[in-house]
A and B are shown apart, each in its own frame.
Chain A
Amino acid sequence: MENLLLQALSGLASASSLFLVASGLTVIFGVSRVVNFAHGSLYMLGAYLAFTLVTQLPRGHLGFWGGVVGAAIIVGLIGVVVEVLLLRRIYRAPELFQLLATFGVVLIVQDLALMTWGAQDLLGPRAPGLRGSTEILGLRFPLYELFLIGVGPVVLGLLWLLFHRTRWGTLVRAATQDREMVGALGVNQRMLFTSVFFLGSLLAGLGGALQLPRESVNLHMDLSIITEAFVVVVVGGLGSLSGAALAALLIGELHAFGILVLPKITLVLVFLVMALVLVVRPHGLLGKPEAAARGGQGSAAPLIGPAPPALRRLGLAALAVAVLLPPFLGDYALSVLTEMAILVLFAASLHLIMGPGGMASFGHAAYFGLGAYGAALAGQWLGAPMLAGLALAPLAAGIFGLVFGFFCVRLSGVYAAMLTLAFAQIAWSVAFQWVELTGGDNGILGVWPDRWAAPKLVYYYLALVLCLGATLLLRRVIHAPFGYALRAQRDSTLRAEAIGIDAFRIRWLGFGLAAAAAGIAGGLFAYAKGSVFPTYMDIPRSVDALLMVLLGGVHTLSGPIVGALALTGLQEQLVRITDYWRLVLGSIIVLLVLFFPQGLAGAARARWEARHGDA
Chain B
Amino acid sequence: MATLEVAGLEKSFGGVRAVQGVSFAVHPGEMLALIGPNGAGKSTCFNMLNGQLRPDAGTVRLLGREITGLAPRQVWRLGVGRTFQITATFGSMTVLENVQMALLSHHRRLGGLWRPVARLDAAPARALLGRLGMADQAERPCGILAYGDLKRVELAIALANEPKLLLMDEPTAGMAPQERVALMALTAEIARESGIAVLFTEHDMDVVFSHADRILVLDRGRLIAEGAPAAVRADPNVREVYLGSGAVTGAH
Contact = CB atoms under 8 A, between A and B. Distances in A.
A480 B113 contact: yes
Given A477-B113, A482-B113, A484-B93, A295 B84 contact: yes
B110 A303 contact: no
Interface string A486-499: 01101110111111
Contacts of A490: 92
A488 B101 contact: yes
B50 A481 contact: no
Interface string A4-41: 00000000000000000000000000000000000000
Contacts, number: 125
B112 A482 contact: yes
Nearest to A485: B110
Contact of A498 (B72, B97, B113, B116): B72
Given A499-B102, A501-B73, A502-B73, A481 B109 contact: yes
B12 to A, nearest CB: 19
A487 B86 CA distance: 20
A487 B92 contact: yes
A295 B73 contact: no
B58 to A, nearest CB: 21
A609 to B, nearest CB: 12
B214 interface: no
Contacts of A303: 92-94, 141
Interface in A479-534: 479-482, 484-485, 487-488, 490-492, 494-502, 506
Nearest to B71: A497
Given A494-B84, A498-B82, A479 B116 contact: yes
B115 interface: yes
B24 interface: no
B248 to A, nearest CB: 28
Interface in A288-344: 294-304, 306
A398 to B, nearest CB: 14
A495 B161 CA distance: 14
B76 A298 contact: no
Nearest to B120: A481
Interface string B74-96: 00110000101011111111100
A502 B110 CA distance: 10
B111 interface: yes
B40 interface: no
B112 A495 contact: no
A480 B112 contact: yes
Given A303-B94, A492-B88, A500 B142 contact: no
Given A298-B91, A298-B142, A500 B105 contact: yes
Given A481-B120, A484-B97, A485-B101, A302 B88 contact: no
B196 interface: no
Contact of B88 (A301, A476, A477, A495): A495
A295 B73 CA distance: 19
B73 A479 contact: no
A354 to B, nearest CB: 14
The size class of the interface chain A forms with chain B is: 35 or more
Nearest to B106: A500
A495 B117 contact: no
A129 B82 CA distance: 71
A498 B90 contact: no
Interface string A408-425: 000000000000000000
Contacts of A488: 90, 93, 101
Given A295-B87, A492-B88, A499-B76, A484 B117 contact: yes
Given A303-B94, A492-B91, A482 B111 contact: yes
B1 to A, nearest CB: 24
A491 B91 contact: yes
A498 B50 contact: yes
A495 B76 CA distance: 11
B161 A500 contact: yes
- Max chain A CB contacts within 10 Å: which of B91, B93, B100, B117? B91
A501 B143 contact: no
A480 B114 CA distance: 6
Interface in B46-85: 50, 52, 71-73, 76-77, 82, 84
Contacts of B88: 295-296, 492, 494-495, 498
A506 B90 CA distance: 15
Given A481-B120, A495-B157, A499-B105, A304 B92 contact: yes
Contact of B73 (A300, A487, A497): A497
B226 to A, nearest CB: 27
A481 B82 contact: no
A296 B88 CA distance: 6
Contact of B161 (A481, A492, A496, A499): A499
Contacts of B116: 476, 479-480
A487 B117 contact: no
A495 B110 contact: no
Nearest to B100: A484
B242 interface: no
Nearest to B141: A303
Given A484-B93, A488-B101, A498-B82, A479 B117 contact: yes
Contacts of A494: 52, 84, 88
Contacts of A498: 50, 72-73, 76, 82, 84, 88
B93 A487 contact: yes
Interface in B111-152: 111-118, 120, 141-144, 147, 150
Contacts of A297: 91
A41 to B, nearest CB: 35
Nearest to A298: B91
B120 to A, nearest CB: 7
A163 B100 CA distance: 49
24 contacts: A298-B142, A298-B144, A299-B92, A300-B143, A301-B92, A301-B143, A303-B93, A303-B141, A477-B113, A479-B118, A480-B112, A480-B117, A481-B115, A481-B117, A482-B112, A487-B92, A487-B93, A488-B90, A491-B90, A495-B88, A495-B157, A498-B50, A500-B73, A500-B77
Given A481-B112, A484-B93, A494-B88, 6 more contacts: A296-B147, A298-B144, A476-B116, A482-B112, A497-B73, A498-B84
